Amino acid sequence: MNPLEQVFKYGQSIWLDAISRDLINSGELQRLVNEDKLRGVTSNPTIFEQAINRGHSYDDALRQLLRADSQQSDKDLFEALAFEDIRMAADVLRPLYDETEGGDGYVSLEVSPHLASDMEATIEDAQRLWDAVQRPNLMIKIPATPAGIPAITHSIGAGININVTLMFSLQNYADVSQAYIRGLNSRAESSPVGGTTWPVSVASFFVSRVDSAVDPMLEKIGTPEALDLRGKIAIANAKLAYQRFREVFYGEPFAGLRGKGAHLQRPLWGSTGTKNPAYSDVLYVEELIGRDTINTLPRKTLDAFRDHGRVRETLQEGVEEAEADIAQLRELGIDLDAVTRQLQEDGVAAFAASYDKLLTALHAKRQDIAA
């Protein structure tokens, strides 16, 4: 059996960490849904930058937009292109959304990365994007920054589906799960008795970037104990986050809301493409399979896992070893909290740089068309 289908038997959904007009118009997205049981799509500024700026797939659409209004800003042009991609992908996935009663079938669109430190602007942008796209199976991505946490609570309370992104630490996870529950409680209080419609949220916990940051530190220390931890910390960190998820959403903190029909906030494993060629190209897929989770895969990783992935329920394995690995890292003098804080800051900066690069390239394209 196709490994991408097998993981669903263990309660995990596979989403694709990519979107482009070619993927949708060629029928490839529909094929992935039909043949590989793909159950969702995520995007971010880097993904859109790569899709729009590499090649000419968007040139005709850009010409039409400029003919309609040549005075549109570069941001307006980008959003018009992105909204159309998101709507088309959402429509492909809508039958899955309906079949699962909102369990899967989502497409994600990110608020501007330049707003990561501005709570009010993030709230406004999330609502604006939600209103503009007009698809019930849309998720708005908000980063788990200090300003993003209260924006998440507010947006959930407003009934917007939220994909919380750029999470790296257990503290991030604790803050995000509490923000979601606060938002649901607010939603329940503001809705008519018996008339609450529950928004859906996922918590995107980034994986491989942790090893990319920690491994060089371990190699610098160079002791056998340090070198033995290479390639283990990212998975250990994710496994402990999954344990926190189980404590919150299978336990007392969520019991009342679950009884009223609210959705679990499933962990979504992000950044699961292997960056170190010394490691298996499906390492961060095989080791993070478990119930009520999502893994969003870059296309290259999805193809590799289909080809040679091995499937078993791994998230509940080696939890004590994961705790020991994190403790050993601390004993070696590596502050994982500091590492993950920096990774979040770097992630926001990288997305902002991609967003700016995208707008710069769109500006050059519009000048070429005008010429």
Domain ranges (residues) in the chain: 3-370
3-state helix, strand, coil in the chain (%, to 5): 60, 10, 30
Alpha helices for 222-318 (secondary structure H): 224-227, 233-249, 252-259, 283-286, 299-308
Residue 1's pLDDT band (cuts 50, 70, 90): confident
The rounded distance, in Å, linking the Cα atoms of 64 and 72 is: 12
What is the band of 59 on the pLDDT scale with cuts at 50, 70, 90?
A: confident
pLDDT exceeds cutoff 60 at 228: yes
Report the Cα–Cα distance between both ends of the chain, in Å, rounded: 53
What value, to the nearest 5°, has the Cα angle with vertex 108 and ends 106 and 113?
165
Report the pLDDT averaged over residues 191-211: 87
Q: Does the global pTM surpass 0.75?
A: yes
Over residues 203-225, the mean pLDDT reads: 98
Helix extents (H) in 72-140: 74-99, 119-133
Kindly list the distances between the CA atom of residue 302 and the CA atoms of 37, 261, 277, 306, in Å, as whole numbers in the listed order.
Answer: 11, 32, 16, 6
Query: What pLDDT does 195 receive?
Result: 59
What is the average pLDDT score of the chain? 95
Provide CATH code, domain 3-370: 3.20.20.70
- Residue among 201, 171, 172 at smallest CA distance from 184: 201
Confidence grade of residue 330 (pLDDT, cut at 50, 70, 90): very high
- The CA distance from 301 to 307, in Å, is 10
Section 44-54 average pLDDT = 81
Instruction: Give catalytic residues, as residue numbers.
Output: 141
* pLDDT band, very low/low/confident/very high, at 194 (cuts 50, 70, 90): low
For 95, other C-beta atoms within 10 Å of its C-beta total 11
